[in-house]
Amino acid sequence: MKQMNEEAVSPVVGVMLMLVVTIIIAAVVSGFAGGLASDQSKAPQATLGVKGMIEGIEDEDLTNYDPDNPPTFEADNGLLFEHKGGDGFGLSDIVIQLQCQDTKTTIGLDDTIPSGTCLNTTEVTAYLMEIGDSDGFITPGDKFMLYADNCRIEDVYDSTWTTVIGEAKVLSWYPGGAAGGFAVYLNTKCEYKVIDKASGKVIQTGNFVLS
């Protein structure tokens, strides 16, 4: 009877088992790492409504670009956002980018409102504030404001820059420490983006016109 030499079988089986175990471990580690990456990069999914809120705009000197408001003038102007549905998020977890043509700015809860604004600073203590609640977490039905820290009115001239033909009203943002300010002219189409800070992804983008 012919006898089989089984001495080489065990090493082959051992190597195959090691390969299978290695592949399984690699698949588990890869899946776990992929899950972590997915969790870290996931932004809230939410639908927001947005509209301009204008309490008033006054300026005592229309010949310059400065907000020369009357001494007792106060107005809490800005953009009102309403959570229409989807995931909740904290105001501290987002920033809002505004863009008109080639100029843009990004405002968040950490930005400092400067002195000398037209805001009622006893009530408005941050650029982003929830309306009617103070927990700072926005869920469906909640509203929050992006306040403009100032406003002004400018003379509009004809093509020769000699004759005043109208006025232009403006809301402006100039956070403390910022390199420059940002202005939104009424009746001008601008763009906004609500951005999740952790992932850097946009929660919602859209257009608005202040009027």
- Report the predicted TM-score, pTM, of the whole model to 2 decimal places: 0.79
Structure confidence at residue 24 (pLDDT): 62
For residue range 70-121, list pLDDT tens digits in order: 999 999 999 999 999 999 999 999 999 999 988 999 999 999 999 999 999 9
Domain-by-domain residue ranges, the chain?
1-41, 45-209
Structure confidence at residue 189 (pLDDT): 95
Structure confidence at residue 37 (pLDDT): 46
Structure confidence at residue 114 (pLDDT): 93
Structure confidence at residue 78 (pLDDT): 97
- Measure the CA–CA gap between 59 and 152, rounded to whole angstroms: 5
- Measure the CA–CA gap between 16 and 20, rounded to whole angstroms: 6
For the chain, which ranges sit under pLDDT 70?
A: 1-40
